[in-house]
Structure 1
């Protein structure tokens, strides 16, 4: 099983990216988690441009088409989803690769409820299927933890494995 993972942050020391890297290393044996690294390369959404004509969008669509599911982890900026993540999702609106795709939403800040709620609304509107039991909130904000630090915390490792096991069991 292949799972696509997208961090909504471009920060070098992003907690969201660290969480997804930890997920990649903790994935069940039969699962490969592919981290999408092209978010910064996606141009502003323009409905006059065919998605298939933009290399970075085409790569995202191809990875999504090959995946059984999608994990999204996004920071909250000004009570909303990060602009780069929302932009990438806008490119996928009405694209067949997203329709009925299984999605888990991960959160690295328990107080980031606005972005999480917005992501739920966006995913539902785009006809994605959110696996609520596989969604995860880990309190990483302010922890200074890298993915290695996450992997050293037994409680966090257990929570990540449980979320991934639930998500992968639907595939």
Structure 2
């Protein structure tokens, strides 16, 4: 199963991005996880550009089209969805790549419930295959990427992430 893991953070040392890269290490031969951590490179959405979208948008849409499912992980900024992630979602609204695409959330903090509520509303509107019940929350806030790597290399955490990926794969296979 091919998953595209989209980080909602533009920060280089992002906790959510580090968590998504950890998914790659547990995916094994069963799943392929590609991390998209370039939301900051997408231009600001404009309906005027939809007919001939910029190359960064086309590359992002192609990555989504190539995936069997999407895993989104995002920080909360001022109790809301970060602008870069909302901008990326706006680029997808009138495109076909995300229609019917299975989507789940993972979250790297014990906080962020306001943002998660908003993101769930947006994703449920964007795709009828958004599964809000399949959710993985890991408490990694304020850890460095190296500390996150240590935490997520523990067998218990690896099993937890592997079970999440397996459950998502099962969901992706069901119509």
Size of the aligned set, in residue pairs, is 171
SS in 1 for 2:45: coil
- Cα distance in structure 1, aligned partners of 2:5 and 2:122: 17
Query: What is the alpha-carbon distance in structure 1 between the residues aligned to residue 156 and residue 15 of structure 2?
Result: 17
Q: 1:139, 1:24 → 2: CA distance? A: 19
Summarize the Cα distance change of 1:37–1:152 in structure 2 as closer, same or farther, 3 Å threshold: closer
Secondary structure of the residue that 1:13 maps to in structure 2?
Answer: coil
2:159 maps to which residue? 158
1:1-40 → structure 2 map (5 Å cutoff):
1-40=1-40
Query: Equivalents in 1 of 2:125, 2:133: separation in Å?
Result: 19
Query: Normalized against structure 1, the TM-score is what?
Result: 0.92
CA contact under 8 A between 2:106 and 2:135: conserved in structure 1? Answer: yes
For 1:9-158, list aligned pairs within 5 A: 9-50=9-50, 52-146=52-146, 147-158=148-159
Per the normalisation by structure 2, the TM-score is 0.90
CA distance in 2, matches of 1:14, 1:101: 25
RMSD, aligned α-carbons:
1.6
Q: Which runs of 5+ in 1 are unaligned?
A: none
Determine if contact 2:10/2:37 at 8 Å carries over to the other structure: no
Answer whether contact 1:22 1:150 (CA < 8 A) is retained. no
Deviation per residue, 1:109-138 (Å, 9 max, x gap) = 122101111111010111242233431110
Superimposed CA distance per residue, residues 48-88 of structure 1 (whole angstroms, 9 cap, x where no aligned partner)? 11264311110011011111100000000000111101100
Q: How many Å apart are 1:156 and its aligned residue? A: 2.0
Deviations 1:140-169 (A, max 9, x none): 012335352233333322221111110012
User: Residue 59 of structure 2 aligns to a residue in which SS?
Assistant: helix
